[in-house]
Structure 1
């Protein structure tokens, strides 16, 4: 599989495409992505965490959020099977990492729509060529229940309510230590959902992909994420970012098919001791939040 990450080289483009204006622009934008899709600053606590008593100091070691999203793929009929989940749509599964300032800090493109989210993360971590920005010791990314709770990746408690829509009505306020933790976790991790909301609202091509060559299609999400970051860095009053600024906003994404795909977790090669350590770290955070929770 020909996978593409944010720090790609120009070599991914066929020389035959060099005379095509679209591919020239696409290549230049992706090259810019190597400069502005950058790993988060792991030496400071995010302002969005420090300034919010719901998250600080509980999530002071959190450096971002991870999730996958599905974008449309235009695939020849005889090659479509790997690109289909339980829906009839053909898609690409794009894994992204974002900061709490709604900037993409890592993008992995090139996986077929049937690919499992945790498998994509596994390959990003295991292959040094992917240059995945691993957290420093005790730091972690927020992930949803489709991933393992393991060192560097903090997942919610399973078997408890998690998604914000589950807590929307007052009578469904979080109850108990694990639900309160899940609610705070979901509220903070919601930044990645809002990033995807901005991305797809701004770039309709991600919802209906033209029949470009497959290799070209793999680069389009990276180009879109690059422009997303450029706008965020240079226009703090952008209307779309303002529209998606509410941390509790529920993003209804009819083009995200991840909920309909296989969500079985692929376990990484992590020792039981390390898994227990991360479980204890999650318990410690949950206990701290619960001790200060006022209901």
Structure 2
């Protein structure tokens, strides 16, 4: 049962192929697939990582400048199979029919929260707002934050890069492309650090071929499959001690715990948060200039 399930999600093998390889009926395969799928999801409390904040003792260069950061988040498109009447809502800007998946990871590249099911046409900021509004959604306490992409606002709990400035890592290659302002330097460091979630998504899709192409399962089952693949991603990272998305990252000792009263439930920019980002970028840039 488990072997069939893993074979399907790892290699995106169709039901008829599994029938031949495991000598089981199509109905049995589908039923066993869903049994294993739900069994793994029931282990989500065990397999989803608890976020750990970056503390003042962190010596790893990539994360040391973001004290009290919990990790990074981003959205990714995963192709889904939906009825013809729903395809317009699921169609992305590139014309693919997909669900827009929110993934949140810690500094090690393990997933701490996953939300799948939103249509591909929906804006990233709306999905993030839904995630923090849910009773069992993404928890972010005041004073802590995640690194987010420019598609989301720079707001309490979510540190975004400066818009209108260079951002992507390839834009900084070569001495002639070195940052010349505090905002550019901040964006360069932000991009380098937030890249952990992009690498987590890359490893996730590399491991599970079912996430790389359109699934023949109903969208509800496919969304459960996405969550299950993320949970198994964490399990593999935990058990494979010789594999690490981020080599030589420092262990962080402080576990992030929240209470409902302290959690952020809406996304709102503030002068204080904007000023804090400006102060941080100036401090980072000044230190870098002194060293160079």
Q: Specify the TM-score bucket, using the shorter chain as the normaliser.
A: 0.7 to 0.9
Task: Check the 8 A contact 1:55/1:184 in 2, yes or no.
Answer: no
CA RMSD of aligned residues (A): 2.4
The reply to whether residue 23 of structure 1 matches residue 34 of structure 2 is yes
The aligned runs of 1:272-291 (5 Å cut-off) are 275-291=270-286
> Secondary structure of the residue that 2:126 maps to in structure 1?
helix
Deviation by residue 1:118-177 (Cα, 9 ceiling, x = unmatched): 00001112232x43211x332111001101111101011111101112112332122211
Q: 1:166 to 1:246 in 2, by over 3 A?
A: farther
Displacement of 1:84 in angstroms is 0.4
Secondary structure in structure 2 of the residue aligned to 1:80:
helix
Number of aligned positions between the proteins: 248
The 2-side partners of 1:116 and 1:105 are apart by: 21
Q: Where in structure 1 are there 5+ consecutive unaligned residues? A: 1-15, 248-267
Secondary structure of the equivalent of 1:293?
A: helix
Q: Which has the larger radius of gyration?
A: 2
Partner of 1:52: 60
Note the C-alpha offset of 1:19. Answer: 7.5
In 2 relative to 1, CA 132–55 (structure 1 residues): closer, same or farther, beyond 3 Å?
closer
* Inter-CA distance 210–55: structure 2 relative to 1 (3 Å threshold): closer
**Counterparts of residues 122-133 of structure 1 (less than 5 Å):** 122-128=129-135, 130-133=136-139
Indicate conservation of the 8 Å contact 2:37/2:224, yes or no: yes
Q: Deviations over 1:166-205 (max 9, x none)?
A: 1123321222111001111111111000001100111111
Are the counterparts in 1 of residues 48 and 231 from structure 2 also a CA contact under 8 Å? yes
CA distance in 2, matches of 1:223, 1:211: 17
Distance (whole Å) between structure 2 residues aligned to residue 25 and residue 46 of structure 1: 42
| Structure 1: 4+ residue segments shifted above 3 A | 16-19, 244-247
> What residue in structure 2 maps to residue 200 of structure 1?
205
Which structure 2 segments of 5+ residues have no match? 1-26, 250-265
CA distance in 2, matches of 1:54, 1:214: 37
| TM-score (norm. length: structure 2) | 0.78
